């Protein structure tokens, strides 16, 4: 016990020492090499070759990107998308493209090994739709063989666009502009990717058998015809609406969706629409994008986003639970968190128009996209961290509780950003192969929400609590575990589901908790 107490004290001291003077914590987020690879392609978009010579002003960073990518090459020549994972074809194709653009000799041992791995995995044709779309923008993949994402999506009636997950819509809206406008983007002289194409067909197979997949493939064919013959007035209207959609969501945010892919495509979209290199909106978008860089003298990596609200809530909650620091030491963190409460409507309000805005987001600024998980975590932190403005904190907590309750889905569970975002047929659209088309309810978030609501005063007998308990009991898997969507699978899902059920005090949950612990 003495050793454990000493470790707890040392950990608490280290955590307090890591806090920013403004009261927040922020750790760096790491991802796979696809972010560095995409950075190189973005530079080709923003700084095209002149007379075949590519000399972008960001060349030093491009070379850093190449070194950073090569550092993570696997023994089999490929690249993975999670630690200790196998080579993944899309990451491999992106890496090969970026490395070749960065001047790495295609006949070097690293590139030859990577090429061989790509061909073993099926060639460029086996990569996901977004890789092919990106390559098609530079005529490196036939445009007729990639999914069409039309800007007219923003003109669809009702909440059709909002049946996609928040991060997907933040990608497809700017991407639709890029595809529709498609300004000519030249390549460095002699650049091609012929050597990593396999002998597999380029096109999607459309069968005769009725299925949602085949239905959407036929829709995609129709969209390609429309794309070539779009009525000028309708296309112009769609592009203007898509442009406004992007700009509206960049206000009060550190970039569109405050997440890497959407931010990258928003930069490309503004450039495609004719925003000059000195236009303040484009400069601001690039500034936010570059802020995700973590750079050293000869390497860099990109973060997918920043995480100060999340990090601060977790750190404050941990210190509060441990009881190792005086409560007043957490006051600066509570004050900082209160400045980040959302007080304007975002995409979530399309399905909940009468719900008073509240909640917290993950990043420094992302007011269109508060998320339920962060909000629950902040409520848990504020149980311990007390602001220097008690009445302000009490009002914010009350609003946040009501906002979470209003964001419960029909099945009793909670998702990350939206309500009832579960239209399964959308997983069959041609550009849904990034496996993140929807934002369904999940046990991990539901468990955290359940714990937060009960701890912050919602009675266990409340119908919302009972529905959440029912959801968790119904989603427990046969071995006794729960799947975690936003962490390390079953460990993450199980511990959060168990914490929520235990806090609910429901006798009927006792057996489920026992099975989870076993």
2-27+306-517 shares its CATH topology with 34-302: yes
| Residue 498, H or E segment | helix 489-504
Confidence (pLDDT) at 203? 67
The sign one gets for the Cα dihedral 105, 108, 114, 118 is positive
Phi-psi region of 460 (alpha: psi -120 to 50; beta: other; left: phi over 0): alpha
Residues 302 and 509: their CA atoms lie apart, in Å, by 42
Rounded to a whole number, what is the distance in angstroms from the first to the last CA of the chain?
Answer: 25
Q: Which two tokens stand for residue 145?
A: 């063989």
Count of CA atoms in the C-beta half-sphere (13 A) of 462: 17
pLDDT by residue for the chain (518 residues), tens only, comes to 789 999 999 999 999 999 999 999 999 999 999 999 999 999 999 999 999 999 999 999 999 999 999 999 999 999 999 999 999 999 999 999 999 999 999 999 999 999 999 999 999 999 999 999 999 999 999 999 999 999 999 999 988 999 999 999 999 999 999 999 999 999 999 999 999 999 988 766 655 567 767 777 777 788 788 888 888 899 999 999 999 999 999 999 999 999 999 999 999 999 999 999 999 999 999 999 999 999 988 999 999 999 999 999 999 999 999 999 999 999 999 999 999 999 999 999 999 999 999 999 999 999 999 999 999 999 999 999 999 999 999 999 999 999 999 999 999 999 999 999 999 999 888 887 877 899 999 999 999 999 999 999 999 999 999 999 999 999 999 999 999 999 988 999 999 999 999 999 999 999 999 999 98
Correct CATH for 34-302 of 1.10.260.40, 1.50.10.20, 3.40.47.10, 3.90.1150.10: 1.50.10.20
Confidence (pLDDT) at 428? 86
Confidence (pLDDT) at 209? 67
Give pTM, 2 decimals: 0.95
Q: Which two tokens stand for residue 87?
A: 């080579």
Confidence (pLDDT) at 202? 76
**Topology (CATH level 3) of domain 2-27+306-517:** Glycosyltransferase (1.50.10)
Q: How many CB atoms neighbour CB 106 within 10 A?
A: 15
Domain residue ranges of the chain, discontinuous segments joined by +: 2-27+306-517, 34-302
DSSP 178-240: HHHH------STT---GGG--SS-SSPP--SS--HHHHHHHHHHHHHHHHHH--HHHHHHHHH
Yes or no: say if 365 and 350 are a contact pair by the CB < 8 Å rule.
no
- Residues contacting residue 220 through CB under 8 Å, at least 6 positions apart: 147, 148, 204, 430
Tell me whether residue 27 is exposed, middle or buried, using C-beta atoms within 10 angstroms of its C-beta: 0 to 12, 13 to 18, 19 or more. middle
Active-site residue flag, 374: no
Q: Which of 271, 373, 374, 418 is catalytic?
A: 373
User: Which ranges of 344-384 does DSSP label H, i.e. alpha helix?
Assistant: 372-382
């Amino acid at each position: 016990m003495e050793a454990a107490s000493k470790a707890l004290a040392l950990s608490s001291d280290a955590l307090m020492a890591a806090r920013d003077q403004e009261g927040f914590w922020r750790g760096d987020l790491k991802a796979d090499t696809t972010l560095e690879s995409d950075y190189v392609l973005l530079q080709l978009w923003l700084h095209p070759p002149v007379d075949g010579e590519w000399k972008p002003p960001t060349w030093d960073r491009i070379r850093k990107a190449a070194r950073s990518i090569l550092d993570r090459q696997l023994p089999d020549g490929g690249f993975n998308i999670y630690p200790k994972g196998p080579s993944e074809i899309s990451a491999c194709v992106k890496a090969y493209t970026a490395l070749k653009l960065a001047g790495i000799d295609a006949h070097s041992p690293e590139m030859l090994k990577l090429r061989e791995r790509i061909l073993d995995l099926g060639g460029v044709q086996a990569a996901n739709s977004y890789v092919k779309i990106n390559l098609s923008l530079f005529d490196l993949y036939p445009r007729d063989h990639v999914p069409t994402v039309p800007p007219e999506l923003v003109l669809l009636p009702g909440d059709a666009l909002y049946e996609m997950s928040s991060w997907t819509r933040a990608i497809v809206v700017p991407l639709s502009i890029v595809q529709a406008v498609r300004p000519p983007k030249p390549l460095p002289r002699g650049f091609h990717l012929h050597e990593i194409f396999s002998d597999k067909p380029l096109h999607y197979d459309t069968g005769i058998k009725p299925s949602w997949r085949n239905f959407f493939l036929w829709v995609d064919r129709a969209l390609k015809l429309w794309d070539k013959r779009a009525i000028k007035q309708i296309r112009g209207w769609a592009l203007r609406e898509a442009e406004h959609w992007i700009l509206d969501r960049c206000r009060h945010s550190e970039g569109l969706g405050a997440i890497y892919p959407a931010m990258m495509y928003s930069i490309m979209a503004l450039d495609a629409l004719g925003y000059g290199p000195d236009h303040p909106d484009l400069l601001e978008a690039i500034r936010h994008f570059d802020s995700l860089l973590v750079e050293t003298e000869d390497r860099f990596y990109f973060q997918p986003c920043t995480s100060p609200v999340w990090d601060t809530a977790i750190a404050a909650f941990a210190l509060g639970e441990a009881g190792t620091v005086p409560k007043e030491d957490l006051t600066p963190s509570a004050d900082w968190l209160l400045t980040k409460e959302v007080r304007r409507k975002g995409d979530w309000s399309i399905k909940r128009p009468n719900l008073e805005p509240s909640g917290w987001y993950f990043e420094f600024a992302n007011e269109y996209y508060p998320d339920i998980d962060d909000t629950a975590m902040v409520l848990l932190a504020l149980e311990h961290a007390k602001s220097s403005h008690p009445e302000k904190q009490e009002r914010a907590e009350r609003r946040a509780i009501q906002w979470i309750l209003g964001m419960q889905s029909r099945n009793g569970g909670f998702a990350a950003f939206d309500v009832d975002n579960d239209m399964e047929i959308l997983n069959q659209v041609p550009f849904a192969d990034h496996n993140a088309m929807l934002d369904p309810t999940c046990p991990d978030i539901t468990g955290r929400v359940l714990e937060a609501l009960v701890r912050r005063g919602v009675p266990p007998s409340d119908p919302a609590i009972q529905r959440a308990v029912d959801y968790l009991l119904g989603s427990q898997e046969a071995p006794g575990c729960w799947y975690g969507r936003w962490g390390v699978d079953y460990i993450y899902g199980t511990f959060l589901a168990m914490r929520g059920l235990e806090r609910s005090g429901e006798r009927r949950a006792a057996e489920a908790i026992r099975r989870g612990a076993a």
